[in-house]
Amino acid sequence: KQWYQRRVRGNKNGLLVPTSTTDKELQHLRNSLPDSVKIARVEERLSALGNVVTCNDYVALVHPDLDRETEEVLADTLQVEVFRQTLAEQVLVGSYCALTNQGGMVHPKTPIADQDELSSLLQLPLVAGTINRGSGAIGAGLVVNDWIAFCGQDTTATEISLVESIFKLSDKGPNNINQMRSVLVESMTS
């Protein structure tokens, strides 16, 4: 469901869900994820966690006003280092940024000096860009991990090329997909 993208945030280590997540939904998530993935229900007034958090498997950027307790739960559950940040004067870092372990894309109005500083802090290559024919709402129009990206149908070829480049997706051809499938099947059966 589309609303999950805005309400939850996770990585290979864990998943954060808001307190509005029902017990039935929580059980479904637990049944669908490996036992090694922790799930934490957080009580946070900024409950659209996907809008206020962006992360990869090592670092997270969060809304400057995120509750300290939520920050601690996030760091523990996702096993990441947490940084309070704004992007192009926007506090909704999850809406205006996408991160993977390979790189990141930030709001197009993020100054070069800020991109360089953030890239150094995160130890990731970053690029300013758009999605969906010029939208700076990167997180709203792009779902990406270390293997694949999905973007809105209005995304241009130039935008797709930038996504493939910064997230290092263009070398993930059929051979790599078969290798990933084998690793996934092996990890699920062991």
User: What pLDDT, in 10s, does the model give residues 2-55?
Assistant: 445 568 999 999 999 998 899 999 999 999 999 999 999 998 888 789 899 999
Residue 171: the pLDDT is 66
Which parts of the chain have pLDDT scores under 70?
Answer: 1-6, 171-190
Residue 116: the pLDDT is 96
Residue 172: the pLDDT is 56
What's this model's pTM, rounded to 2 decimal places?
0.85
Q: Element (H or E) spanning 24, and its range?
A: helix 23-32
Distance CA(101)–CA(124), nearest Å, equals: 8
Residue 1: the pLDDT is 39
Q: Which residues contact 50 (CB under 8 A, 6 or more apart)?
A: 4, 5, 6, 7, 8, 9, 94, 95, 139
Residue 175: the pLDDT is 55
Residue 3: the pLDDT is 43
CB atoms inside a 10 Å sphere around CB 46 = 18
Distance CA(48)–CA(6), nearest Å, equals: 5
